[in-house]
Structure 1
Amino acid sequence: MAKMEELKHRVASKTIKLVDGSGNPIAGKEIALKQTNHKFLFGCGIFDAIDVANKNVSAERLAFQERKLDQFLDVFNAATLPFYWGTFEPEKGKPKTKELKAAAQWLKDRNITVKGHPLSWHTVTAPWLLEMSNEEILAAQFARIEREVSDFKGLIDIWDVINEVVIMPIFDKYDNGITRISKDLGRVGIIKEMFAKTREFNPGATLLLNDFNTSINYEILIDGCLNAGISIDAIGIQSHQHQGYWGHEKLEEVLDRFSHFGLPIHFTENTLPSGHIMPAEIEDLNDYQIPEWPSTPEFEERQAKEVEEMYSILFKHPLVEAITAWSFSDDGAWLGAPAGFIRKDNSPKPSFKAVKKLIKEDWNTNVTSKTDDNGIVTFEGFLGDYELVCGDKTVSFKLDKDAEEAQLVAI
């Protein structure tokens, strides 16, 4: 695990002066400083929030989902919700805006930062696009971005704008509208159009380009985008490790290559199974779907070690701002892979305990101190949101790198 000196970019010092209502310093007073949230985004794909927020499942299933989400809320501060066009708007003109809004609001009310995934993708896209000309498809894609980005502004201000563009124009598994227009516009061209439209309707949003391809092809694409003046806020890197943990060396190598751009990096979709490893000869992960993929005690211990090492490497890197585990639970996990932190029955795996220890203990600040004769206290902590507790009074504040030298707090 990273040592404190390796995490200096994750911490800051703050000097606080406590005063009473008349402005007099409060000297020699015991106070507690409790971190309530991280600046760093520790997330999961948490599509279950749709069922819970809308209560559209049986009472038994709802109770099960609520227990699942209680465990998620105990550790994580970020969530990804699904905006796949084909499932969000399977019938033209009938988007599931109400259901997704309820889920996003439910998460926001619990202090969870929500990201939408994705606004444009050739897979799971709307089948009715195939009835249109390319010009009509592009117009429909623009209208879809305007609608979603406008409707969810304030609830969702982070978007995977466009997904997996490296393969998009040459994708040949089946015909789809988005591949058609990507052939017309080119890779950089379609990214430019989608980013511009998203930025138009939420100028302050954090916009990501996201891909599973970590080869030089993705680097070339990013370089082309930046040269074309496209404002990418963060580079999204998928890390579905169904065929085995990348390991320290590959992680460092990928980080080194994508750090050259100087942009924030989000590990957007991380998968580390606690079962057997998918055979190496499988080229497309989607082609490996089996009736049962069990999680076993031996592989759960391996998963916990891999999670601890990977999260520690990423948290140590100064450009990484977010890590999202793709499946919080094995229940309903992508491709049936046992990649969750909890099992199908909601019981926690060793990996849940490992990631909770990192986020809530090793990388969390919770200290007590005493004000000096001038009512001043100085502390160092991990960046994020805090509560200062003095007697029966509580004051909230943020700790950031550019934090002011002193803060007056009336108690």
Structure 2
Amino acid sequence: MGRTNQLAHRMARKTMKLVDVTGNPVSRKEVTFTQTNHQFLFGSGMFDAIEVANRNVPPNRLPFLEDKLDKFLDIFNFATLPFYWGEFPNYQEAFEPEKGKPRTTELKAAAQLLKDRNVTVKGHPLVWHTATAPWLLDMSNEEILKAQFARIEREVTDFKGLIDMWDVINEVVIMPIYDKYDNGITRIAKDLGRVGIIKEMFAKTREANPGATLLLNDFNTSTNYDILIDGCLNAGIPIDKIGIQSHQHQGYWGREKLEEVLERFSKFGLPIHFTENTLLSGQLMPPEIVDLNDYKVTDWPSTPEGEERQAKQVEEMYTILFQHPLVEAISSWEFSDDGAWINAPSGFVRRDNSPKPSYDVLKKLIKGDWLTNVTCETDDDGMVSFEGFLGEYELRCGDKKGSFQLDKDGEMVRMVIK
């Protein structure tokens, strides 16, 4: 089956009538259509943008982080920024390290930096039992709920226009029965129930930003997550996208599992985001580890064999997902091995910023195989048609140019080129 059949849902045909500033048709001229951005969201976590935007690192590290960001921007159009209410030990500092003193200014600078570079930004997460504020434990359950509502209202309102996509609530399947340590969010999840807490948190987020894109996100891809989503939809909760985590530290899912997961979650008819994808380029984590955070190693190198394996898996997984009509976004959890969660060799670039084979493979797909750059000629009436991947385009005709969005509307467009 050719690309046209497999990826028809990712493409559209556009007919345009080109005229000059006087209204005359641009006849018999060569026109180049160059895609400048995908409609599909390809991304990763880009927490380093916080340090780059605020320049709050040693001077000798800043060029290294800027180089890392440049490599990210050369492929991706989508980034996740961290909003962990409390500290994520050995990985990420708290958004609100001291009660009433959130890092709003720092995160706004990072979001603005990315937005200025045409990157869509998602905030992660608004509600989670892990890495949540420790002072919640001093409150009653009623007070915890009020504090969580206030937190949502503050962040979603403060970042409106910069961040209009949120992982609203994270890992609810396990939330009410989480017993690794006591935390305020599990307490209120026990009171409200899974569907109840989701309903409350989605309603509060929607109230704060009616136009935001709201995700339910989970690592549990069993039927327990199916049942939870079904319960939410039956309760009228307006989930915009289903978020599926795919941390594969213990081995690649493979085509069979990937297609089974896609088939099962497609039955809801909602767009799907692969929110936290991980494929290793080194030794795999032992299979007996249940909570990935429990695996403690100080040295976890990327290896030549592992990098070749990662590249093949990235190519297959991204191709399967891009071909699926309900998948709208694929976000790797790490872009780089430098500072990676649990020290895993999970990035597309090594600790020294040198690209791995997976980086080159993905760049070839996103900026080569799946990107449109075509040259056509207008007819006597200035009419021209082309087919391309959905997204943003620049049109050039001689020394004149224009820009437009290619989507599925199929309508003829009249464009004045200047």
TM-score range, shorter chain: over 0.9
Match of 2:312 in 1: 305
How many Å apart are 1:407 and its aligned residue? 2.7
Deviating 4+ runs (over 2 angstroms): 1-4, 405-411
Q: What is the CA–CA distance in structure 2 between the aligned matches of 1:326 and 1:280, rounded to whole Å?
A: 20
Q: What is the CA–CA distance in structure 1 between the aligned matches of 2:362 and 2:410, rounded to whole Å?
A: 28
Aligned ranges for residues 84-163 of structure 1 at < 5 Å?
Answer: 84-86=84-86, 87-163=94-170
The structure 2 residue matched to 1:198, chosen from 205, 219, 222, is 205
Q: Is the 1:2–1:313 Cα contact (8 Å) retained in structure 2?
A: no
How many Å apart are 1:193 and its aligned residue? 0.2
How many Å apart are 1:2 and its aligned residue? 7.3
Structure 2, gaps ≥5 residues long: 87-93
Match of 1:395 in 2: 402
Query: 1:55 aligned to 2:55?
Result: yes
Match of 1:81 in 2: 81
Match of 1:20 in 2: 20
CA distances 1:321-348 after superposition (whole Å, capped 9, x unpaired) = 0000000000001111101000000000
Match of 2:252 in 1: 245
Q: What is the CA–CA distance in structure 2 between the aligned matches of 1:376 and 1:134, rounded to whole Å?
A: 65
The structure 2 residue matched to 1:356, chosen from 359, 363, 374, is 363
Equivalent AA in structure 1 for residue 187 of structure 2: R
Query: 1:224 aligned to 2:228?
Result: no
Match of 2:240 in 1: 233
Equivalent AA in structure 1 for residue 157 of structure 2: S
Q: What is the CA–CA distance in structure 2 between the aligned matches of 1:351 and 1:302, rounded to whole Å?
A: 9
Q: Is the 1:16–1:409 Cα contact (8 Å) retained in structure 2?
A: no
How many Å apart are 1:90 and its aligned residue? 1.7
**3-state secondary structure, aligned to 2:301:** coil
**3-state secondary structure, aligned to 1:184:** helix
**Alignment coverage as a number of residue pairs:** 411
Match of 1:290 in 2: 297
Question: What is the TM-score normalised by the length of structure 2?
Answer: 0.97
Match of 2:71 in 1: 71
Query: 1:267 aligned to 2:280?
Result: no
**3-state secondary structure, aligned to 2:245:** strand
CA distances 1:207-257 after superposition (whole Å, capped 9, x unpaired) = 000000000000000000000000000000000000000000000000000
How many Å apart are 1:394 and its aligned residue? 1.6
CA distances 1:256-308 after superposition (whole Å, capped 9, x unpaired) = 00000000000000000000111111111111121111100111000000000
Q: What is the CA–CA distance in structure 2 between the aligned matches of 1:253 and 1:409, rounded to whole Å?
A: 48
Match of 2:351 in 1: 344
**3-state secondary structure, aligned to 1:92:** coil
Equivalent AA in structure 2 for residue 308 of structure 1: E
Q: Is the 1:45–1:79 Cα contact (8 Å) retained in structure 2?
A: yes
How many Å apart are 1:370 and its aligned residue? 1.1
Structure 1, gaps ≥5 residues long: none
Computed over aligned residues only, the root mean square deviation of the Cα atoms, in angstroms, reads 0.9
